[in-house]
Amino acid sequence: MTKASRSQATTVRLLVLVACWISSPARAQAEPATAAAASGALPAPSAEPPLPAITSAAPALASAAPNVAPDSSATPPPAEPAKSPPLANAGPFQPLLTDLRARAEVVHNLRVRLDNAPEIARSVLAPQIFDASTDYRRALTEAAVSLSSGAFPDASQEARQLTLAVVTDRLSEEGRIIRQSLKAQYRECLVLIERAADANKNDRANLENTRNASIERTPVLLQEYRDNLNARKRLKEDVQAETNAFKGQLLDAAKFTAGLLTHIAQDTSRLRGSFGTTQKPEEQAELTALRTYRNRVAELQKKQIQLLDEYAGDTVELRQNLVTTTGDVSDAILDKDVLSGLFKKWRTDAVATFSANAASFALRGVTVLLIVLAFVVAARLTRKLVRRALARTSMSLSHLATEFVVSMSGRTIILIGVVVGLAQLGLEVAPLLAGLGIAGFVVGFALQDTLSNFASGMMILMYRPFDVGDAIEAGGTVGKVQAMNLVSTSVLTFDNQMLIVPNNKIWKDVIRNLTHQTTRRVDLVFGIGYQDDLEHAERVLHDILEHHPAVLPDPAPVVRVHELADSCVKFVVRPWVKTDDYWETYWAITREVKRRFDAEGISIPFPQRDVHLYEARPAAERNGDLDLRTARPSASRG
């Protein structure tokens, strides 16, 4: 046996002694003695309930370790199925009672076969009994719910009372069997834990698998007993005494499980320290087996905490221990009492450790400070090197992409330095990082809009629709981009106003980059009168464009008659210029066209409208028309 295994076995024996004290008569006055308790087998904590299939404990152990005799006293003897009154009096409840009777007979027959079966068949029958018992108890619970909700309202009172009596009696009997099963299951778990710790290398793997399976079944029994109590309570049975006893036993068992988790965490830490950084395959297998064992015990602890919460038990310390020993903070991250307790515990441990090792910690503190400073300097150098490398590369990166890569390289170096510094202090950073990850998820959910802006910034970074210095029209703004980050874009408008626009607003709208191309076309429209000479006006416009220095010869400017409008003939004038000369050219050509048209006698007409006036007739003439219209109908009637 290895040194680690001997240490584990010693610690397990101490835990077993604690379990024996928990399950002593003084601690379990409310729980009736069972036949298994008198057998002299290793006692189990009365607070810990086991799995529904008690009968599977001994066979499973026997099949896993043939050289170890199973504790047959842990399996309660098969009881005769309860005799039901004649089902003919049950009325509409007869199918329900028939189904319950059939399920009970299946369980009873399997238990009888188990007692008479050879060792090789017992490991096969035990899981069948477990499943059949679970199915039967679920059917009983559903029957209780159906009765309490007033099913079959037309049934006679006699039939309802008969069915109620049968279901209540069977629920009480199953409650007694589950209590015995829980004790036997805990007893089996303790035996397997100790034997697995003491076993040699050849037998240990089988015993560990059997132990893990036994621990995995225990939460099922806990849930079944809880459902049994609730079902009987729905049927107006007084189960307060049993509930109180179950709560007390559950709390004791949860404390025992918490101690077992602490022991497993200590073993894991000790083994990692002894194995070193480079682990052999057999050492990795041992750590993997220990993690599997821890996960099974942690699931049992979670079920105990869940039930204690339902019974208004105090589970803060249990949750804190679960986080400390497993690093699983998913259920505790939103519990302020658990978090405050963890921080207080970490602070207390830190103070105690610092008091005992002040000189060592002072040296470590200086070391950590030097490490962080070194990584900060390294981060600055890394930023400079990355920026220089990006400037020399042939890749065409946007300003936003360049700044993102540079900043992330520096931040990554600093983060590595912080982790290395914490590790030098001896702090366990894995649970902290896991907690920060879950906290980040919660915070991210609360900041959905900010994350949307971040995602839009990433899209802008990848697709590069614009860069710093470009003039854009996007998100309802027009101006020159001054700065960009992953959340927002700073735009300086042409009237010198600084606007901070969220990236989400920019990305979800049309983005118009006004300076993306080196040349732009200036679109101008001028009108002349209908009486003016078209060819003369066209020659004047061509002359203006040819003599303007900013107008590019290629592409050639366009001057065309575009529209015969209401009051004028419209020309379109479209010269090409450099993007930077756009507005200067627009204004200069507009001014020159007005000056040349005036000099050449070409009119620029105002909008015209023809108005037709009609002369009003004298009043006497209008009255004569009225008399004439009214006289005609009178003549026809005469």
- All structural domains of the chain, each given as residue ranges with its CATH number in brackets, are 3-243 (no CATH), 358-446 (1.10.287), 451-513 (2.30.30.60), 518-638 (3.30.70.100)
Q: How many CB atoms lie within 10 A of CB 198?
A: 17
- Lowest-pLDDT range, 108-117, 136-145, 490-499? 108-117
Residues 6+ apart with CB under 8 A from 13: 194
Confidence of residue 114 (pLDDT cuts 50, 70, 90): confident
Predicted pLDDT of residue 27 = 41
DSSP 44-61: --TT----S-GGGHHHHH
Q: How far apart are CA 621 and CA 239, in angstroms?
A: 111
Residue 51 or residue 347, greater confidence = 347
Q: Across 188-202, 237-251, 335-349, 560-574, which has the greatest mean pLDDT?
A: 560-574
The CA-based dihedral angle spanning residues 505, 506, 512, 516, taken in that order and rounded to the nearest 10 degrees: 170
The 10s digit of each residue's pLDDT in 433-446 is 665 665 665 566 55
* 238: exposed, middle or buried (Cβ count in 10 Å: 0-12, 13-18, 19+): exposed
Confidence of residue 519 (pLDDT cuts 50, 70, 90): very high
Residue 566 or residue 88, greater confidence = 566
Residue recorded with tokens 């682990």: 279
Provide the angle, in degrees to the nearest 10, between the axes of the packed helices 358-392 and 399-424.
160
Res 66 pLDDT > 50: no
The 10s digit of each residue's pLDDT in 575-590 is 999 998 999 999 999 9
Alpha helix (H) residue ranges in 155-239: 157-198, 201-234
Res 570 pLDDT > 70: yes
Res 24 pLDDT > 50: no
Res 474 pLDDT > 70: yes
- The structure's pTM equals 0.46
Q: How far apart are CA 135 and CA 130, in angstroms?
A: 9
Q: How far apart are CA 454 and CA 451, in angstroms?
A: 5
**C-alpha atoms less than 13 angstroms from C-alpha of 198 in its C-beta half-sphere:** 11
Confidence of residue 533 (pLDDT cuts 50, 70, 90): very high
